[in-house]
Amino acid sequence: MSDTFRAALPGALRTHLSEPSSPALPDAPGAADLRARAAELDAADELAAFRERFTLPEGVVYLDGNSLGALSVGVRDRLAHVASHEWGELLIRSWDESGWWTAPERIGDKIAPLIGAAAGQVVVGDSTSVNLFKALVAAARLAAPGRTRLLVDAATFPTDGYIAQSAARMTGLTVTPVDPAQAAQAMDEDTAVVLLNHVDYRTGRLHDLAGLTAAARAAGAITVWDLCHSAGALPVGVDAHAVDFAVGCTYKYLNGGPGSPAYLYIAERHQAGFDSPLPGWTGHADPFGMTPAYEAAPGATRGRVGTPDILSMLALESALDVWDGVSIEAVRDKSLALTDFFLECVAAYVPQGKVESVTPAEHELRGSQITLRTENAREIMRELISRGVIGDFRPPDVLRFGFTPLYVGFADAERAARTLGHIFG
């Protein structure tokens, strides 16, 4: 344990943590019952077997899948095959013979069911930020003439805000920050585009995608949703709720690997009018014609820009195989049960007043993470990680715990809360 950590903590807690035996402190009242319940819940869990589809370090509780998902077991062999055979032997022939060229659309169709989209509306490639830029500018170009406002989630992930400002400058719009809870009331005849996050990355709060999309449609505005913290954790229903555009990363709950390519959803009704601000050659109707004039490809393919990043894209394709046979509704049910149980364990193990949950208790308002506010959050998280419980920290005072139901179990939730309780003593 670092001297910095000890110095930052109150005296009694600092003394307690100086003892090497602190992880083995006597259990809090009710601990045996909570561990027994965790075992029962894990035994009854229909998704428990899916944990075997992931490579996880022995003895580690991994609650940071909302930042980087775990490695799925097939990815290593897939990458080895790509490197040794598809690249090493077939060389450039793999663009055709190994299906490299069609990977962005093919993998998009694997993601589509996880966000509630029909085939042909999702294309994979580039980063979330780049795809967001494409979607916002295209949405502004599709908006009714004369509208001037771009509503943006006031608590959005910072990059989304930066991109929105740039897109607004390009298209003559004015960015208006809005609390998602008040967004419906803020939409009017001057609203061109609405950019919202499905789940708040800090608090884990789930916003009303269906209701807010309906409100935007009634106001004549076009919606762009950021699904980074919801896709793969809960049902989204972009088609059912008539979402216009959506973007998302694949390295969180979709477990695609660090820096894996993002995706862009273009509703079929908007594809013919989708005017990308980045008209790259792979989004051309005749990419190998090398003509000086740009003609967009049909369908979601027009969302492509440059040469696909094949190694990370094919790693993602393999990672998505873990979803075979998985119901996203079952994932959501387990997510809510896990987060409920974790909060119950935190209440039992952590002294009252030491942490405060800022994630809504109501299921309809909760994503798949729990955010706790506490003093000395950075050092508390460092100590949790040193004891084998991996979450993450967000300044100034936030501990985030992401629950990925395909590989996190109830015993993991209980151990994480118990370890947190030991740290506070």
3-state secondary structure the chain: CCHHHHHHCCHHHHHHHCCCCHHHCCCCCCHHHHHHHHHHHHHHCCCHHHHHHEECCCCCEECECCCCCCEECCHHHHHHHHHHHHHCCCHHHHHHHCCCCCHHHHHHHHHHHHHCCCCCCEEECCCHHHHHHHHHHHHHHHCCCCCCEEEEECCCCHHHHHHHHHHHHHHCCEEEEECHHHHHHHCCCCEEEEEEECECCCCCEECCHHHHHHHHHHHCCEEEEECCCCCCCCCCCCCCCCCCEEEECCCCCCCCCCCCCCEEEECHHHHCCCCCCCCCHHHECCCCCCCCCCCECCHHHHHCCCCCCHHHHHHHHHHHHHHCCCCHHHHHHHHHHHHHHHHHHHHHHCCCCCCEECCCCCHHHECCEEEEECCCHHHHHHHHHHCCEECEEECCCEEEEECCCCCCCHHHHHHHHHHHHHHHC
Identified catalytic residue from 133, 157, 342, 424 = 157
Residue 78, domain member (yes or no): no
Residue 67 carries which side chain, given as an amino acid letter? S
Residues 122 and 197 in one domain: yes
Residues 263 and 174 in one domain: yes
Q: What is the model's pLDDT at position 30? A: 79
Long-range contacts formed by 334-340: CB under 8 A, 24+ apart = 334/45, 334/47, 334/405, 335/233, 335/234, 335/368, 335/403, 335/405, 336/363, 336/366, 337/41, 337/410, 338/403, 338/405, 338/408, 338/409, 338/410, 338/413, 339/366, 339/368, 339/369, 339/370, 339/403
* 251 carries an active-site annotation: yes
> What pLDDT was estimated at residue 24?
44
Confidence (pLDDT) at 425: 83
pLDDT at 26: 57
Model confidence band, residue 209 (pLDDT cutoffs 50, 70, 90): very high
Q: 236 pLDDT exceeds 70?
A: yes
CA–CA distance, 6 with 328 (Å, rounded to integer): 43
For residues 194 and 266, state if they share a domain. yes
Kindly state the tokens that stand for 222: 């076009």
Say whether pLDDT at 23 is over 60.
no
Q: Are residues 120 and 67 in the same domain?
A: no
Task: Specify whether 62 is catalytic.
Answer: no
Catalytic-residue membership of 333 = no
183 within 8 A of 212, measured Cβ to Cβ? yes
The pLDDT-based confidence of 362 (bands split at 50, 70, 90) is: very high
Average pLDDT over residues 378-404: 97
Query: CA angle, corner 117, sides to 334 and 163, nearest 5?
Result: 95
Burial 298-336 (b: 16+ CB within 10 A, else e): ebbbbbbbeebbbebbbbbbbbbebbeebebeebbbbbb
Instruction: Give me the mean pLDDT over the 267-283 stretch.
Output: 98
Q: What is the mean pLDDT of residues 43-51?
A: 97
Please report whether residue 362 resides in a domain. Answer: yes
State yes or no: pLDDT of 2 exceeds 60: no
Torsion of CA 240, 260, 403, 266, to 10 degrees: -10
Same-domain status, 333 and 293: no
Domain that holds residue 393: 3-72+327-424
Are both 55 and 106 inside the same structural domain?
A: no
Per annotation, catalytic residue among 147, 400, 415, 418: 400
Residues 154, 296 within the same domain? yes
What percent of the chain lies above the pLDDT cut of 70? 93
Q: Are residues 257 and 401 in the same domain?
A: no
Flag whether pLDDT at 211 surpasses 80: yes
Q: Which pLDDT tens digit goes with each residue over 94-126?
A: 999 999 999 999 999 999 999 999 999 999 999
Assign 128 a pLDDT band (cuts: 50, 70, 90).
very high
Do 272 and 337 share a domain, yes or no? Answer: no
- If pLDDT is split at 50, 70 and 90, which confidence band does 269 have? very high
Q: What is the CATH number of the domain that holds 176?
A: 3.40.640.10
- Residue-wise pLDDT for 218-227, tens only, equals 999 999 999 9
Give me 68's structure tokens: 């980087």
Q: Is residue 89 part of a domain?
A: no
pLDDT over 60 at 401, yes or no: yes
Mean pLDDT of 306-311: 97
Pairwise CA distance, residues 123 & 407, whole Å: 27
50, 54, 62, 251: which is the annotated catalytic residue? 251
Threshold 0.85, pTM exceeds = yes
Residue 373: the pLDDT is 98
CATH number at residue 45: 3.90.1150.10
Phi (first) and psi of residue 164, to 5 degrees: -60, -40
Question: Of residues 153, 226, 244, 309, which has the active-site annotation?
Answer: 226
Q: Residue 301: which of 332, 337, 266 has the closest Cα? A: 266
Q: Is residue 315 part of a domain?
A: no
The Cβ of residue 353 has, within 10 Å, a number of other Cβ atoms equal to: 8
**Are 64 and 180 in a shared domain?**
no
Task: Look at the chain and report how many structural domains it folds into.
Answer: 2
Three-point CA angle 27, 33, 36, nearest 5°: 110
Same domain, yes or no: 139 and 286: yes
Catalytic, 226? Answer yes
Res 276 pLDDT > 50:
yes
Largest CA distance in the chain: 74
